[in-house]
Amino acid sequence: MTLTTIRTAAASSLAAAGLLFALAACSAPAATQPATSAPASSATASSTASSSTATEPCTGVQVIIDSGALKQAAADASVCVPVESTTSAAKVLETANVKTEGTVDYPTELVCRVNGVPAADLDITHQGGTYREECGKMPAAFAYWSLWVKPAAGDWAYAQEGLSTLQVGPGESLELLFTVDGAPAAPGA
């Protein structure tokens, strides 16, 4: 094996690890509550954030939490957070009373749970069988919270930064979407 081959293999491994980190770091609506010990929703609107309706547009940042394939309603929310200028996504979620939990190894860099979802005792069914999220190192590449942003006049885009560095402003939307085996692939309209 030549030095060039070793360097190419190492670069490919680093690129794959970087992609996995980006997928897990950027971290979702559902209808039914499964029989698990997931806590009741803590995504209730705070005194400064309000639940939005279809008749009144959000002039701040629209926060959407969608448990996607998990269908855990305890996590789902749609809240309008008033902001006057660009604000970190982490601060917007805090104002919306959305609780995120990182992993043991990456407590603030990754999103492992949102409002207690997925519950530690939930068997997540995926193509390879079942899985339980322990929030130790990296969330599984096949089951994770993804982070999405949508400008006032535009389409959803996968966030290129994490919650602490991503900035969102008035008229934009921010969504945390739980994906299992690539579905849902992106937020709904």
Tell me the whole-structure pTM to 2 decimals: 0.72
d(CA 163, CA 100): 10
In tens digits, what is the pLDDT along the chain, a chain of 189 residues?
433 333 333 333 333 333 333 333 333 333 322 333 333 333 333 345 555 444 578 999 999 999 998 877 767 889 999 999 999 999 999 999 999 999 999 998 889 999 999 999 999 999 999 999 999 999 999 999 999 999 988 999 999 998 989 999 999 999 999 999 999 999 987
Domain boundaries, the chain: 3-180
| Contact by Cβ (8 Å): 175, 157 | no
SS3 content of the chain, % helix, strand, coil (to 5): 15, 25, 60
